[in-house]
């Protein structure tokens, strides 16, 4: 095919791709479009599948059989981790305005040099990976031009200016610089970019499926046909399950699982570009489905290539060679575009991510450190980012041009994966382990990368002849256990071997650093925020501890320089709205405002640069670990308070309602008191009236001797009644007010009851009331604690009531005393008049006297039962009544029994005191 046609096709495809991006970006505010966000997100994740996948899977399947699957099984197994790990990553990055992995790590471990280290390591690990995409594109281009000519090396452009890959690099760099980095904010969501990536994903899937269908159903008669022919040709790598090594598979899956989450391009689309955590749910099923589809035809194509193509065709080229050599030119073009789209998507996103890292963590901190204001501006920030894009592209191109040519596609991809897995311990520690610290992370990364370089990079260098072959054959200086390909004598395929040892050394460094070295206060602070992010999200500015002096105007100047005046004012407004507190524009700012501003700046220049900016302005103080613990405790208490506020206001409402009720009751008590006083005076007036009348009669009128004696006797009775009433009123008042103290002596209840009965016996005899007693045998041994006189008063009240209201004939009173566990139960049963059911609830009320239908004047003061009740209750007991009108009443008194062991305890206490 003519190279011009292919170049035009490639350019046309890029034009369409950028067109999609521009179109979507322009309709930014379109609500209808935002509904597609979750699909864009889900379809952006297959940026994981690169040109390496597109061409290399078939290649690897052809050579190693099922091993190619490990690269996809890892991400599939990572799906359940989406919600656990990725959601947490998303939340932290959103809250802290983090856009790259080095930002994430250095913010957590509060170390600027760590950010430089991670950036450099990632760039080293990923540049080769970008370069193999360029290689894939240029190889496929050559392959198309030469229509299946088999040697790719001979057709490589001899000069840079005749090399297609060079122009591709330039076009993609321009796209990133003018489209993606057009806006300042790096954490802002680039929907246009996501749309382009998703578009790429669809194109590469369709292209690969097209090749698969072509091979399976046009060149062969379906899956069955291929496998039968393979059996006939005895190509056994897919039928021999012994080729699957457990540990190797485990390591490769672990590798691809961590790559799926931590590769810069994955982190960029999955974490930084995520606009809604819920989108993970869609991605959770769309992405696995995508992987299933794109892998569906890998094996048939590999087998088809093996069966149909000559053995000197590079298996990596089968995808393209099968349609080309079968004269299916249109399909070949579609396939070429598929591979091209896979490469461009990977290059674009990886370059964005790497250039952000490079700019934010290396370039800008170096520029900002001087504290010169002219440099601390948005122009510099954007320019540095653009320079970083060019640097990354150039690095990738020159690596491709002078190094990658020498290596096969697949091994470079896996070596990149092995580099990325070195960050897994740091990231998991940042997310879940508060004690992980910067020493652990640094030591782990250095150790891990050192071993990675030794076991994975050195052998490839040997392979291209830059180091002597003896290194691999005999080990360095002939020490066989240091052989880079079989460290400590371990025999395993190179990638699994390198992964295994680099991870082991990484973990040793990581744990020893974290466990044996101290954590700084600031680090602890961030650890709390990271690990407990879900409870801190809304309050993070209050929880990042910062101590120092910083003048508002200085801070404002920097934020205006970097954010622009409008944005900076908007942010200030938002701050006031969020915290309801204005900023003192002439004085110093508090930690909360500093954190808020720093987060804003992080969104533009990264967290490291923003930290450097702030510290260049302020007089910062070191934070002690214990301060962090204290402040976090306080702020978590504040948070708790905040969340309880609503509950409390509800509580307050309830309380005020209660208060109103209490008020009502108090009013009721007032009225009760009034009623009581007027009842008392009324009750006093009656005897007084009688007395006065008789006295006046005796004075004014002639009376017989007999009358005089009678009247005087009546006067006496009424005076007694008055004084009794007065006594009882005072008594009851004292009892109710709790003013009188009851002497609590050990008493024999039997003795108290017996004495009451004895004193009432004459009266009972006069009124012909028969008396029965039923006492527990054990009663004689039991004790109660109390006031003998008061208890007698209570019992006598009840006995005299029974006598007072006794029937005229066959009246009886029965007293039962039972001991039940800790209680003494005294029951007085009579067969007297009883109480009407409507009155039974009020019988213990003061002055409630059941006035009956008969015209007899009640005989008491109306205070006896209330007094009895008060006395019983003062002794910790209770009194109840059951009665039926004209059939008698049953009063039950329960009193606590005094235990001997209590007496012993008391005695002991006494001894101790003595």
Partner 1 sequence: MHKILIVDDEPNILISLEFLLTKGGFNVFVARDGAEAIDIINEEHPQIVVLDIMMPNVDGYEVCQYIKNDDDLKETKVVFLSAKTKDEDIEKGYALGADLYLKKPFSTRALLKKVQEMAS
Angstrom distance (rounded) from CA 892 to CA 825: 7
Tokens standing for residue 780: 């004689």
Closest to partner 1 by CB, 318 vs 694, is 694
Does 855 help bind partner 1 (rule: CB under 8 A)?
yes
With contacts defined by CB under 8 A, name the span among 593-601, 685-693, 742-750, 800-808 that binds partner 1: 685-693
Distance of closest approach, residue 703 Cβ to partner 1, in angstroms: 8
Closest to partner 1 by CB, 855 vs 901, is 855
The answer to whether the beta carbons of residues 204 and 196 sit under 8 Å apart is no
Closest to partner 1 by CB, 110 vs 718, is 718
The DSSP line for 726-789 is HHHHHHHHHHHHT-SPPP-EEE-HHHHHHHHHHHHHHHHHHTTEEEEEEE-GGGGG-BEEE-HH
Does 705 help bind partner 1 (rule: CB under 8 A)?
no
* Alpha helices per DSSP H over 544-619: 552-563, 565-579, 591-617
Closest to partner 1 by CB, 681 vs 878, is 681
Q: Which of 573, 574, 692, 899 binds partner 1 (CB under 8 A)?
A: 692
Does 688 help bind partner 1 (rule: CB under 8 A)?
yes
Does 690 help bind partner 1 (rule: CB under 8 A)?
yes
Q: Which of 566, 758, 853, 913 binds partner 1 (CB under 8 A)?
A: 853
Closest to partner 1 by CB, 486 vs 686, is 686
The answer to whether the beta carbons of residues 559 and 571 sit under 8 Å apart is yes
Does 857 help bind partner 1 (rule: CB under 8 A)?
yes
Tokens standing for residue 788: 């003998």
Does 697 help bind partner 1 (rule: CB under 8 A)?
yes
With contacts defined by CB under 8 A, name the span among 313-321, 546-554, 683-691, 810-818 that binds partner 1: 683-691
The answer to whether the beta carbons of residues 184 and 378 sit under 8 Å apart is yes
**How many C-beta neighbours within 10 Å does residue 538 have?**
12
Closest to partner 1 by CB, 700 vs 705, is 700
- Buried-exposed string 785-816: b where 16+ CB fall within 10 A, e elsewhere: bbbeebbbbbbbbbbbbbbebbbeeebbbbbb
Angstrom distance (rounded) from CA 497 to CA 472: 14
Which string of x and - marks every residue 763-802 that binds partner 1 (by CB under 8 A)?
Answer: ----------------------------------------
Does 701 help bind partner 1 (rule: CB under 8 A)?
yes
Does 718 help bind partner 1 (rule: CB under 8 A)?
yes
Closest to partner 1 by CB, 390 vs 719, is 719
Q: Which of 469, 681, 723, 781 binds partner 1 (CB under 8 A)?
A: 681
Q: Which of 689, 716, 778, 837 binds partner 1 (CB under 8 A)?
A: 689
Give, in order, the Cα–Cα distances in Å from 227 to each of 58, 145, 210, 307, 326. 16, 32, 20, 11, 20
Does 549 help bind partner 1 (rule: CB under 8 A)?
no
Q: Give Cβ neighbours of residue 742 (< 8 Å, ≥ 6 apart).
A: 786, 787, 790, 871, 874, 875
Does 704 help bind partner 1 (rule: CB under 8 A)?
no
**How many C-beta neighbours within 10 Å does residue 533 have?**
21
Angstrom distance (rounded) from CA 471 to CA 791: 107
Q: Which of 581, 772, 851, 887 binds partner 1 (CB under 8 A)?
A: 851
Q: Which of 696, 789, 907, 909 binds partner 1 (CB under 8 A)?
A: 696
Closest to partner 1 by CB, 31 vs 856, is 856
Distance of closest approach, residue 860 Cβ to partner 1, in angstroms: 14
With contacts defined by CB under 8 A, name the span among 143-151, 563-571, 707-715, 801-809 that binds partner 1: 707-715
Q: Which of 202, 394, 652, 717 binds partner 1 (CB under 8 A)?
A: 717
Does 671 help bind partner 1 (rule: CB under 8 A)?
no
Does 282 help bind partner 1 (rule: CB under 8 A)?
no
Query: Mapping DSSP to helix (H, G, I), strand (E, B) and coil, where does residue 502 land?
Result: helix
The DSSP line for 49-113 is S-HIIIIIHHHHHHHHGGGGGHHHHHHHHHHHHIIIIIHHHHHHHHHHT--SHHHHHHHHTT-HH
Tokens standing for residue 718: 């009424």
Query: Mapping DSSP to helix (H, G, I), strand (E, B) and coil, where does residue 475 land?
Result: coil
Closest to partner 1 by CB, 553 vs 692, is 692
Distance of closest approach, residue 833 Cβ to partner 1, in angstroms: 15
With contacts defined by CB under 8 A, name the span among 421-429, 471-479, 562-570, 697-705 that binds partner 1: 697-705
Query: Mapping DSSP to helix (H, G, I), strand (E, B) and coil, where does residue 401 land?
Result: helix
Instruction: Quote the crossing angle between the two packed helices 246-262 and 494-516, to the nearest 10°.
Output: 60
Instruction: Quote the crossing angle between the two packed helices 705-737 and 864-874, to the nearest 10°.
Output: 30
Residues forming contacts to partner 1 in the complex (CB under 8 A) are 678, 681-682, 685-694, 696-697, 700-701, 707, 711, 714, 717-718, 851-853, 855, 857
């Amino acid at each position: 095919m003519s190279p011009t046609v292919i170049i035009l096709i490639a350019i046309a495809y890029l034009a369409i791709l950028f067109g999609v991006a521009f179109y979507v970006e322009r309709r930014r505010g379109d609500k209808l479009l935002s509904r597609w966000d979750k699909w864009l997100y889900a379809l952006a994740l297959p940026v994981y599948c690169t040109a390496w996948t597109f061409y290399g899977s078939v290649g690897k399947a052809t050579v190693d059989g099922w091993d190619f699957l490990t690269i996809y099984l890892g991400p599939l197994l990572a799906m359940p981790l989406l919600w656990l790990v990725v959601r947490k990553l998303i939340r932290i990055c959103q809250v802290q305005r983090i856009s790259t992995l080095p930002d994430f790590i250095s913010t957590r471990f509060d170390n600027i040099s760590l950010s430089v280290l991670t950036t450099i390591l990632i760039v080293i690990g990923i540049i080769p990976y970008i370069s193999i995409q360029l290689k894939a594109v240029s190889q496929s281009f050559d392959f198309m031009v030469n229509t299946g000519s088999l040697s790719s090396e001979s057709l490589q452009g001899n000069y840079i200016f005749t090399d297609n890959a060079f122009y591709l690099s330039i076009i993609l760099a321009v796209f990133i610089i003018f489209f993606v980095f057009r806006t300042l904010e790096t954490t802002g969501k680039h929907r246009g970019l996501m749309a382009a990536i998703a578009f790429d994903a669809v194109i590469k899937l369709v292209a690969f499926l097209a090749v698969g269908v072509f091979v399976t159903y046009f060149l062969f008669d379906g899956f069955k046909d291929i496998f039968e022919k393979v059996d006939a040709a005895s190509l056994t790598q897919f039928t021999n399950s012994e080729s699957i090594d457990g540990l190797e598979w485990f390591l490769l899956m672990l590798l691809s699982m961590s790559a799926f989450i931590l590769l810069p391009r994955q982190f960029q689309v999955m974490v930084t570009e995520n606009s809604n955590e819920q989108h993970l749910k869609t991605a959770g099923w769309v992405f696995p489905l995508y992987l299933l589809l794109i892998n569906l035809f890998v094996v048939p194509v590999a087998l088809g290539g093996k069966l149909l193509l000559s053995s000197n065709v590079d298996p990596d080229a089968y995808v393209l060679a099968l349609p080309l050599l079968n004269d299916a030119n249109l399909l070949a073009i579609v396939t070429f575009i598929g591979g091209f789209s896979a490469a461009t998507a990977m290059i674009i996103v990886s370059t964005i991510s790497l250039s952000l890292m490079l700019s934010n963590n290396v370039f800008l901190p170096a520029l900002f450190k001087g504290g010169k204001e002219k440099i601390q501006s948005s122009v510099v920030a954007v320019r540095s980012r653009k320079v970083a894009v060019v640097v990354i592209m150039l690095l990738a191109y020159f690596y491709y041009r002078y190094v990658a040519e020498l290596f096969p596609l697949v091994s470079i991809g896996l070596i990149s994966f092995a580099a990325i897995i070195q960050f897994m311990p740091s990231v998991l520690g940042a997310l879940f382990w508060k004690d992980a610290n910067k020493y652990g992370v640094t030591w782990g990364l250095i150790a891990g990368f050192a071993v990675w370089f030794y076991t994975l990079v050195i052998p490839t260098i040997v392979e291209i002849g830059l180091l002597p072959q003896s290194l691999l054959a005999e080990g360095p200086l002939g020490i066989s256990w240091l052989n880079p390909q079989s460290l400590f004598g371990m025999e395993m395929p190179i990638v699994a071997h390198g992964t295994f040892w680099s991870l082991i050394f990484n973990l040793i460094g990581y744990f020893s650093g974290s466990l044996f070295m101290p954590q700084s206060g600031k680090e602890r602070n961030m650890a709390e925020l990271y690990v407990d992010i879900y409870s801190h999200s809304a309050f993070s500015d209050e929880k990042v501890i910062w101590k120092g002096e910083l003048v508002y105007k200085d801070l404002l100047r920097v934020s205006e320089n970097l954010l622009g005046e409008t944005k900076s004012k908007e942010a200030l407004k938002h701050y006031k709205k969020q915290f309801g507190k204005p900023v003192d524009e002439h004085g110093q700012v508090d930690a909360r405002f500093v954190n808020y501003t720093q987060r804003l700046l992080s969104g533009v220049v990264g967290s490291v640069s923003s930290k450097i900016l702030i510290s260049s302005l302020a007089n910062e103080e070191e934070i002690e670990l214990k301060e962090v613990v204290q402040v976090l405790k306080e702020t978590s208490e504040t948070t708790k308070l905040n969340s309880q506020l609503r509950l409390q206001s509800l509580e307050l409402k309830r309380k005020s309602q209660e208060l109103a009720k209490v008020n009502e009751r108090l009013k009721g008590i007032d009225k009760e008191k009034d009623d009581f006083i007027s009842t008392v005076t009324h009750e006093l007036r009656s005897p007084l009236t009688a007395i006065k009348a008789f006295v006046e009669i005796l004075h004014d009128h002639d009376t017989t001797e007999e009358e005089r004696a009678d009247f005087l006797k009546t006067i006496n009775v009424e005076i007694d009644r008055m004084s009794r009433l007065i006594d009882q009123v005072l008594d009851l008042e004292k009892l109710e007010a709790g003013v009188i103290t009851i002497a609590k002596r050990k008493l024999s209840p039997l003795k108290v009851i017996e004495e009451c009965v004895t004193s009432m016996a004459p009266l009972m005899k006069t009124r012909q009331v028969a008396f029965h007693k039923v006492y527990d045998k054990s009663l004689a041994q039991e004790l109660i604690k109390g006031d003998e006189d008061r208890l007698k008063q209570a019992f006598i009240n009840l006995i005299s009531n029974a006598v007072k209201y006794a029937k005229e004939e066959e009246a009886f009173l029965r007293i039962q005393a039972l001991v039940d566990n800790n209680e003494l139960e005294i029951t007085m049963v009579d067969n007297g008049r009883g109480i009407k059911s409507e009155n039974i609830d009020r019988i213990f009320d003061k002055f409630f006297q059941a006035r009956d239908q008969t015209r007899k004047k009640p005989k008491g003061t109306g205070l006896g039962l209330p007094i009895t009740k008060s006395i019983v209750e003062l002794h910790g007991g209770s009194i109840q009544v059951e009665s039926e009108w004209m059939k008698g009443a049953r009063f039950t008194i329960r009193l606590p029994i005094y235990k001997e062991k209590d007496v012993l305890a008391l005695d002991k206490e006494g001894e101790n005191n003595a």
